[in-house]
């Protein structure tokens, strides 16, 4: 089947894109209003795109009525947010944070998580998260119904048991983030496998045989 995106409804493009571009990692984004109210919401339009500078990207949609989500409102006003990575232990609470409750409710607490004030930003991060990144807005790109947020990671908190003894690499038996597929379908990273590169020399050898 072929789909001409320029002739499709936005909702149909959303369906196809989210059905096929996955699994997408989940950022549980915690923010703090200027009045000091904690907020948290999961975002699977999320990834890291640069390390120098360290840039993560979020895609935040408006609500169906066109209103901005609390997360975006806080990000616009404070210029700060934290990304908390999500594993199975946080999965249920992550869904609670996605329920869209009133802005005066602390979703981190509602989800049963503890919050810790940021080291470099005012927004709090989730104490139970295997990894949390404190971010400052690098730039916002406003589209019709979605805002792309580029955030510079200024500080990272990592749960000690997620790293090897030297503190360099993740322990894949411990750090197993979940990711979103389509709709309510998710995947966890408990079936990791190593796939070393075959090396350029072996591929060149194959080409040479074909040419002979
Ligand atoms: C797994 C998951 C991923 C989500 N990803 C996004 C996303 O990338 N962008 C977005 O705008 N909303 C996303 N949502 C919906 C928001 O989390 C939801 O609208 C939330 O209530 C917004 O809360 P807020 O008003 O406190 O910001 C996602 C929800 C779930 C459960």
109-136 pLDDT per residue, tens? 999 999 999 999 999 999 999 999 999 9
Which structure tokens are listed for 79?
A: 């210029």
- Please report which confidence band the pLDDT of residue 206 belongs to, taking 50, 70 and 90 as the band edges: confident
pLDDT at residue 97 in the model:
98
The rounded Å distance from CA 42 to ligand 1 centre is 5
DSSP letters of 185-208? -EEES-S--------HHHHHHHHH
Which structure tokens are listed for 147?
A: 């805002």
Closest ligand 1 atom to the C-alpha of 95? 31
pLDDT at residue 54 in the model:
98
Domain of residue 59 covers 5-211
CB distance 19 to 182 below 8 Å: yes
CB distance 122 to 78 below 8 Å: yes
9-49 pLDDT per residue, tens? 999 999 999 999 999 999 999 999 999 999 999 999 999 99
Better-predicted residue by pLDDT, 212 or 100: 100
Handedness of CA 122, 53, 56, 67 (dihedral sign): positive
The rounded Å distance from CA 41 to ligand 1 centre is 5
Which structure tokens are listed for 174?
A: 């411990």
The rounded Å distance from CA 20 to ligand 1 centre is 19
Closest ligand 1 atom to the C-alpha of 40? 26
Residue closest by Cα to atom 4 of ligand 1? 43
CATH number at residue 43: 2.30.110.10
DSSP E strands in 71-201: the ranges are: 80-85, 115-117, 124-126, 131-142, 146-158, 178-180, 186-188
Q: For the chain, give the number of residues.
A: 212
Closest ligand 1 atom to the C-alpha of 62? 11
Mean residue pLDDT of the chain comes to 96
Which structure tokens are listed for 169?
A: 């690499």
- The DSSP element (H or E) to which 94 belongs, if any, is helix 88-97
Residue closest by Cα to atom 16 of ligand 1? 98
User: Residue 85: CB partners within 8 Å, gap ≥ 6?
Assistant: 25, 26, 27, 28, 129, 130, 131, 132, 177
- The DSSP element (H or E) to which 32 belongs, if any, is strand 27-32
pLDDT at residue 212 in the model:
63
The pocket around ligand 1, CB under 6 angstroms, is made up of: 26, 39, 41-45, 59-61, 69-71, 95, 98-100, 180
Residue closest by Cα to atom 21 of ligand 1? 100
Total domains present in the chain: 1
């Amino acid at each position: 089947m072929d789909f001409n995106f320029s002739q499709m409804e936005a909702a149909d493009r959303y369906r196809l894109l989210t059905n096929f571009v996955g699994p997408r990692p989940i950022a549980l984004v915690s923010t703090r209003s200027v009045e000091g109210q904690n907020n948290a919401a999961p975002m699977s339009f999320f990834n890291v795109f640069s390390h120098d500078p360290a840039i993560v990207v979020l895609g935040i949609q408006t609500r169906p009525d066109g209103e901005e989500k609390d997360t975006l409102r806080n990000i616009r006003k404070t210029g700060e947010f934290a990304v908390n990575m999500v594993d199975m232990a946080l999965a249920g609470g992550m869904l609670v944070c996605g329920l869209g409750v009133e802005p005066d409710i602390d979703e981190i607490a509602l989800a049963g998580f503890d919050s810790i004030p940021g080291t470099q930003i005012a927004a709090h991060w989730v104490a139970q998260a295997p990894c949390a990144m404190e971010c400052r807005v690098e730039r916002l790109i406003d589209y019709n119904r979605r805002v792309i947020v580029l955030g510079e990671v200024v500080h990272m908190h990592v749960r000690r048991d997620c790293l090897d003894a030297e503190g360099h690499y993740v322990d894949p038996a411990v750090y197993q983030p979940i990711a979103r597929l389509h709709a309510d379908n998710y995947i966890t990273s408990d079936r990791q496998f190593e796939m070393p590169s075959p090396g350029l020399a072996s591929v060149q050898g194959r080409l040479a045989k074909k040419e002979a």
